[in-house]
Chain A
């Protein structure tokens, strides 16, 4: 299917007991495009990501990747579908080096099995070398190769965020899911994160949940607005900005100040 979107949800509904966290959600991430998902707190953004990753199985609806339905998706299948996700709270492996953190992300490309690892066969050594080189290349691309031998805990937050991004990118995903990638970053760091995301677009499609509207408006090709689990608006950044339903949803939500400051 040459024209199928990289990722699509059709009528996805998720219920937690009495709460409908997602209500017949439709969305599409066209290839090489960036889709932003925004909405007030509790709107269902994280749940939407969890469905995309196989942590939550929807009660109704379907999820498709390049037109193929992802039935029975489990989180550990993501690399196999050329998908990668960053987690809202870093989720780095704290007691291994930055390099090895990133090597875990590249594990998909290794082929040596348990036996060649046990006996340290040449196949295993070759895999290790390749993973290390790949990881170093990615660290270098993100400008953090100097930290390769450090443990994440000893590094500034912005660097750690980059390590998490490197771990997602090193497997060369075709669809990147970013959960609040800008949280905790300074304006300057957010600026360069935006550049990075725009650069990624050449190689992959991106879906991103983010509170910082400046970033969302800058990097997204289209935006989906969720409120109470429902898509209340979707369109280009300009269209969404003008949408009265969006303004109503945000103005009604006092918790989320940053999001309410939609630049006009």
Chain B
């Protein structure tokens, strides 16, 4: 770091080289982008955007578990259900007793509790058994709602009434835009603020010794143990962090969907999350976001393209799974490390070409690697 650099350059470097400050800066930029989009988009688009957001939160959590710690979960939809049902129980009529933030926190904590129990069990299991246990969870949890249909609403589920937009936010938004903040826009904000906060915290963890221990356990558990890492603690903590995200995602999903019913939390949801994480690139938070975005918008996009090509509506709708499958296959063939992985490899190749070629490099990319010293 040259001391002769101009002050702004130095200030920038300081912000960028500090883990916390870099993540906060990215969060601010992200928030700006979110504000621009939410204010510009229609109510319909905003609900779609919110759906992208809650999928993104859950995918971010799953990528920590699967990508950073190497544990597979086929049951993250079930943890979303726990968060969603907790929220629904608080917000089943228009007169909430707890402020929204409180509801979200409680829903997350309840899910964390369940996650800690399951995680402790999963830490003792291996590969296929974890998959089996979490699969059972994905299938079993919606069944609980059916069993306790008196409190949990059975097949019909529970209605969720989102609390009204807080007055200060209404005023603030009116001040800048000159129109009233609609409930859809408000929910979009709620989801995306949650996402940004979640991702900042996950990125902090990933870049700390906690994240490094998770990766060590993922890559070689015997070596990690000999290096002083308590395997059980590392695995359970990854599970808990991951389920906290799923719980929060479920909570905001309940707000957006306005209904929490077993049909929304089937195995399909769990598999969708896993798909998003794999498509985006295991272990990369950006990748999780990209994957969630793809899964949220691709079906709609395919249908639109089909219609504009002159297909009738049903035909166009049939295009969605086809495109979906094609994208899956393309990513697996062309970018086995996911979209984020492919971008990283491309960037590494470019810098490698720019600098002197290091001795016999084939792939010198470092996953989530810190290049700064």
Contacts and interface: CB of A to CB of B under 8 A. Distances in A.
A131 B209 CA distance: 9
B361 A154 contact: yes
B366 A107 contact: no
Contacts, number: 140
Given A117-B205, A118-B204, A127-B209, A132 B373 contact: yes
B40 to A, nearest CB: 32
A107 B363 contact: no
Contacts of A76: 225-226, 228-231
Interface residues of B, number: 45
A78 B208 contact: no
A264 B200 CA distance: 65
Residue in A75, A87, A94, A151 with the greatest tally of chain B CB atoms within 10 Å: A75
Contacts of A156: 360
B369 A97 contact: yes
B223 A93 contact: yes
Interface stretch (B15-23, B29-37, B145-153, B265-273): B15-23
Given A96-B369, A97-B369, A125-B19, A87 B222 contact: yes
B213 interface: yes
B212 A103 contact: yes
A112 interface: yes
Interface size class of A (residues with CB under 8 A): 35 or more
B371 interface: yes
A239 B212 CA distance: 47
A156 B359 CA distance: 10
A99 B65 CA distance: 23
Residue in B20, B210, B226, B365 with the greatest tally of chain A CB atoms within 10 Å: B226
B230 to A, nearest CB: 5
Given A93-B215, A97-B369, A125 B18 contact: yes
Contacts of B229: 76, 104, 107
A84 B19 CA distance: 30
Interface in A57-89: 75-80, 84-85, 87
Contacts of A107: 209, 212-213, 227-229
A151 B366 contact: yes
Contacts of A136: 373
Describe A's contact surface by its main secondary structure: helix
Contacts of A80: 228
A136 B362 CA distance: 23
Contacts of A110: 209
B210 A120 contact: no
B364 A79 contact: no
B216 A121 contact: no
B93 interface: no
A172 to B, nearest CB: 13
Interface in B318-373: 358, 360-371, 373
A167 B204 CA distance: 24
A128 interface: yes
A108 interface: yes
Given A117-B209, A128-B19, A154-B363, A94 B226 contact: no
Contacts of B19: 120, 124-125, 128
B237 A114 contact: yes
B212 A100 contact: yes
Contacts of A153: 363
A131 B19 CA distance: 15
Residue in A87, A104, A105, A112 with the greatest tally of chain B CB atoms within 10 Å: A104
B117 interface: no
A124 B19 CA distance: 10
Interface in A195-226: none
B208 A128 contact: yes
14 contacts: A53-B226, A75-B222, A75-B225, A76-B225, A76-B231, A96-B215, A96-B367, A97-B366, A100-B212, A104-B227, A112-B208, A118-B201, A119-B20, A150-B361
Interface of B: 18-20, 23, 201, 204-205, 207-213, 215-216, 218-220, 222-231, 237, 283, 358, 360-371, 373
* Closest A-B pairs by Cβ, 5 of them: A120-B20, A91-B223, A117-B208, A79-B228, A93-B219
Given A117-B205, A124-B208, A154-B360, 11 more contacts: A91-B220, A93-B220, A93-B223, A96-B367, A103-B209, A104-B213, A104-B229, A114-B210, A149-B369, A150-B358, A154-B364
